[in-house]
Structure 1
């Protein structure tokens, strides 16, 4: 299937590449690396475009930030969600916590090898670095705590994580039973992706609120509130780099100018007195 997808991507690059300069291979990943390499080899020099991927993830906040078990569980939540696909692209392999957790669970289930596939060295090298930008979809947040009771499920993604997802009853609920408006989680996820994967260019590819109720007229105040909250949190992100610029460039420049002005005034003062 990966070679078939690469052929399909090649056709798209050939037909639309003179106009399309930003490509997203997948919203649910499969043969991403093949398409990225195909564009780099055949089309990038002529078309000067970018190829990335779109990954969806909710934010996981520890129930108790002073409890190391909850903090670790929240980290597992994020690595099993975003890291599952982003880590191979940016680091060349699955997150260590996924390999450890699934390897241990597989052994407990009597398996001779982990249910998580193992990348060969060639595959790691081929996949790593195959993204010109990170597309990020985000909708809501969950509180995360460690699961301290045995799971009744068999082998599964949910069981491998060893955690429990909770919601705050005070969070505004929207049209879907899984969706709550938690804008601050969006900024924390952006910060996580920024620091975890080496500050890549990030495009927000998915966000929004479902229909809350049926009505004959325009009645989506909750959607306006949701979007406004999330956009405001997203707009806080550039302030980090802006403040970094202020502290590293503007402040030293102003200090230097102040020193020069003070020296000039002192020279004029001494000259007038003499």
Structure 2
């Protein structure tokens, strides 16, 4: 891997000597490295077991967020589209800093500003990934249709194929999908969403400025994003306070929050197994008994 990294640095125009190549955290799926040359610092991911577009769509997501000029993201410097099991690399800026007292407040406000950047349709122009799982996309006029077909049904099919969907759970999922329009609005603004916004996917940069990393972007109901921020304990109160001040949250949030969290619980069910089954069942019970 070190030789590939050195070759990549040369390819992107950094001919200076390499001082440090150190494997770091953040590599649950990929191998991750901190690299320092005489010119600058890099964060480099590598993987030889990915589809060719795996790093391309991550780079596209980072650039989509950057284009909003709201919340900061690392600069994408280069990426590979590997085929036939070859190793590909994604090269981005190394981000490091210490949280300031206002960092999570800034994050809440800047995420709200990002959500105000909207598209004419829901979804995304390319299929993406969440963890190791593929996420089919496409562009849809109806958020309800997109959420049902491209999100919930997609994870349901994966769960069935992996044996994570016993008959009782599968039947209740079928009922829920049939009745989804009882709760999910078809017509909401398609906001730009990070798509995988939990506490591990942001970090403080210089001067405590918050940065988002590891996106799986889409356009959709911004409440879908907010619901996921609360799945694993939520963000600090000042994050939500600042968000609400910048972009008030509609009243129907409490009606759809568990239903939006269901998608991410299905993802975790498919990635980590039945330990997440009871959480899926609790949401199903809340909506259909």
TM-score by length of 2: 0.22
Which structure's residues are more often helix, by fraction? 1
Larger Rg: 1
Which protein has greater RCO, CA pairs closer than 8 Å, 6+ apart?
2
